[in-house]
Amino acid sequence: MDLTLAANWSQILSCFVGAVGVVLAALSLWLYLRSRQRRALACAFQLIEFPLEIEADERYKGDLEIRYKGEAIENLFLVRARLRNTGNQPILESEVVEPLIFVFDPGTTLLRTPIVVGRKPDNLKIEWEDSKLPERFASFAGLWPFTFDLLNSGDEFTAEFLCTGEVASPKAKARIVGISEIGVLDPEEMRMREMVAGIRSIFFLIVVFVVAFGLAARFAPVTWLADAAGQVFIPLILSVPFALAIYLWNSVTLARYRKRKRESSV
């Protein structure tokens, strides 16, 4: 009886390992197609229309004003631009033909030199002062161009602009080898993309463990190791469809969000 159960268990494991192997091969091909060399930059803008808000009694309306360097300001707002290398290839300084600049509408006035309020990684070198511009970018002085030494995949930085006038997001422009334009993302879309990427990584990690423990349970040289691997293998194989379902659900949610965004912009 024990031999029969052992034989059945061995056949079940062999079927599982074979099936998982086929799935893994298909997923590996899909991952390869998705991970082909791709160069891309994307920017997400955040508008903060009232960074300074004063609450006062109605009878004081018109008696309060905001002044910047001695001049009255009608409205004050912040623009935060979060730029990220969303491709899978690094971008070198030598590949930048024209530096990154942010172009505002004529009705918007910048009140100060932009500042960088965040960077990832922390040692990412970003320059935006005219005095530190490379000589080949001297013609862009006064436009507050941003230069960097290296942007690896996933590297990002956030620039902040203090503005007055017409409340609107700027346009990010640059000429970089292999990149036709800088994509625009809103913060919510960027958050959803990060979530989908994280779930995808977890899913592939689970598949790798399934194959590893399945092979160990089937071909381990000692019985105790095969039994231990078999006990781990079952819950792992059961978690695969759940992880896949979560990944597909979030991918569909992201696709629907993009569709609604496109329709609302028409």
Confidence of residue 192 (pLDDT cuts 50, 70, 90): confident
CA dihedral 55, 60, 63, 69 (to 10 degrees): -10
Task: Specify the pLDDT at position 266.
Answer: 53
Residues 6+ apart with CB under 8 A from 202: 243
pLDDT at 15: 58
pLDDT, the chain, mean: 76
| pTM score | 0.61
Q: Is 153 left (phi over 0), alpha (psi -120 to 50) or beta?
A: beta
The most confident of 25-34, 161-170, 194-203, by mean pLDDT: 161-170
> pLDDT tier at 220 (50, 70, 90 boundaries)?
low
- pLDDT score for 202: 79
Confidence of residue 189 (pLDDT cuts 50, 70, 90): confident
Q: How confident is the model at residue 225 (pLDDT cuts 50, 70, 90)?
A: low
The region of weakest confidence among 55-64, 78-87, 130-139 is: 55-64
Task: Report how far residue 104's alpha carbon sits from residue 95's, in angstroms, rounded to the nearest whole number.
Answer: 25
**pLDDT more than 90, % of the chain:** 8
Q: Which residue has the tokens 């707002």?
A: 77
Spell out the domain ranges in the chain: 11-36+191-265, 41-178
The answer to whether 111 and 180 are in contact (CB under 8 A) is no
